[in-house]
Amino acid sequence: MIVTVASFKGGVGKTTTAIHLAAFLQGHAQTLLIDADPNQSALAWASRGELPFLVVDQWQARALPTPYGHVVIDTPARPVADDLALLAASCDLLILPTTPDILALDALALMVQHLAGLPIAPYRILLTMIPPYPSRAGAEVRQRLTTTGLPLLAGGIRRYAVFQKAALAGTAVYDVKDPKAELGWQDYVAIGEEILGG
């Protein structure tokens, strides 16, 4: 399965999602993460520690002879229309992470508009960085997106500082010593199972 993570806005958890979906998929088959973002955030994450899968840039990926069961692609923020068309056509699923705030939702609406004009655009929206109770932002945005009929993943990723700790350590969140580590990981496990389940 090829899963591409894309967004028209930075800071919505794109690389965090790519890393953790790759970690989940690695438990099911050999997985490769391709960092196609010029910022090389996934490569930087991997360089600080140890991840259970290989992370390469798009040029290195072309030279790899070994077939992988799963491939996750982390993309640049705000891909141009031609790149977006190529990304959508060359993957099994496009994951669009968005935070529950107006600027991210505006960027999401613009991306969905671009995807609507493409012949093949299998995508699902993932709510990320959902603030804790008593904030109702996550639930309100989920309800709003549900009423639009857009393809929204049932699960979501709660906002935990442990994800930043994982990025600093260069590991997946489950390898961080923090009381919220398992909760953060289970959020991604639920998303991974939803993706594999169809």
pLDDT band at 55 (very low <50, low <70, confident <90, very high): very high
* Statement: residue 66 has pLDDT above 80: no
CA atoms of 86 and 88, how far apart (whole Å): 6
Selected residue with higher pLDDT from 49 and 88: 49
* Statement: residue 126 has pLDDT above 80: yes
CA atoms of 62 and 39, how far apart (whole Å): 19
pLDDT band at 105 (very low <50, low <70, confident <90, very high): confident
Say if pTM beats, i.e. exceeds, 0.85. Answer: yes
pLDDT band at 79 (very low <50, low <70, confident <90, very high): confident
CA atoms of 144 and 139, how far apart (whole Å): 9
pLDDT > 70 in the chain, percent: 98
CATH number of the structural domain spanning residue 148: 3.40.50.300
Tokens representing residue 20 in the block: 């953790």
pLDDT band at 198 (very low <50, low <70, confident <90, very high): low
Domain range enclosing 63? 2-196
Other beta carbons within 10 Å of 66: 7
* Statement: residue 177 has pLDDT above 70: yes
pLDDT at 121: 65
Beta strand pairing status for 31-35 and 70-74?
A: parallel
Helix (H) or strand (E) holding 3: strand 2-5
pLDDT at 50: 95
CA atoms of 17 and 74, how far apart (whole Å): 9
Task: Please give the tally of structural domains in the chain.
Answer: 1
CA atoms of 44 and 166, how far apart (whole Å): 12
* Interhelix angle 181-196/14-26, nearest 10 degrees: 70
pLDDT > 90 in the chain, percent: 60
* Statement: residue 86 has pLDDT above 90: no
Please compute the mean of the pLDDT values over residues 142-146 and round it to a whole number: 88
Average model confidence (pLDDT) for the chain?
91
Q: Which of 24-28, 67-71, 98-102 has the highest mean pLDDT?
A: 24-28
pLDDT band at 19 (very low <50, low <70, confident <90, very high): very high
Find, among 110, 97, 92, the residue nearest to 25 by Cα.
92
Selected residue with higher pLDDT from 29 and 9: 29
- The residue behind tokens 């994800």 is 163
